[in-house]
Amino acid sequence: MSRKPADELSRRERQIMNIVYARGEASAAEVQSGLPDAPSYSAVRALLAILVDKGQLKHRSEQGRYIYAPTRRRSHVGRSALRRVLDTFYEGSLEKAVAALLQGSEANLSPEELARLSELIEQARKEGR
């Protein structure tokens, strides 16, 4: 079992990475406001520095303050995270996962989204032939 980068992150570090990935990039203050049970500004900056050290984040200076962004591409990390969820909860099956989401009582997909999804699947079927 190979160890994924996410396995190396502590609780707070993970929370922060989630926020940064969700936003694309963020300042220390923005990260702080996104954290549950937010600690001091100091604490947040310390964690951010650690993440930079670990190579998870990079920062650029903009208007006198640091803006943090992930070093690894969102698309890669996202796919990997998605796979992990599929493996952990759905035997690795995308089908089961989609079924679970669609069955959720909470209506979540617009007709347009469903249509586009359908389109995607059909296309994959043709190409996969």
* Residues in contact with DNA by the rule CB under 7 A: 10-13, 27-29, 37, 39-43, 45-47, 49-50, 63-66
Closer residue to a second copy in complex, CB, 62/79? 79
Point out which residues pair with 26 in neighbouring strands: 68
Residue 15: strand, helix, or coil: helix
Select from DNA, a second copy, none the partner in contact with residue 50, using the beta carbon and a kind-dependent cut-off of 5 to 8 Å. Answer: DNA
- Identity of residue 53: D
* Spatial distance between the Cα atoms of 80 and 18, rounded to a whole number of angstroms: 14
**What is the nearest approach in angstroms of DNA to the Cβ of residue 19?**
13
Binding letters toward a second copy, positions 89-108, x by CB under 8 A: xx--xxx-xxxxxx-x--xx
**Distance between alpha carbon 31 and the CA centroid of its chain, in Å?**
14
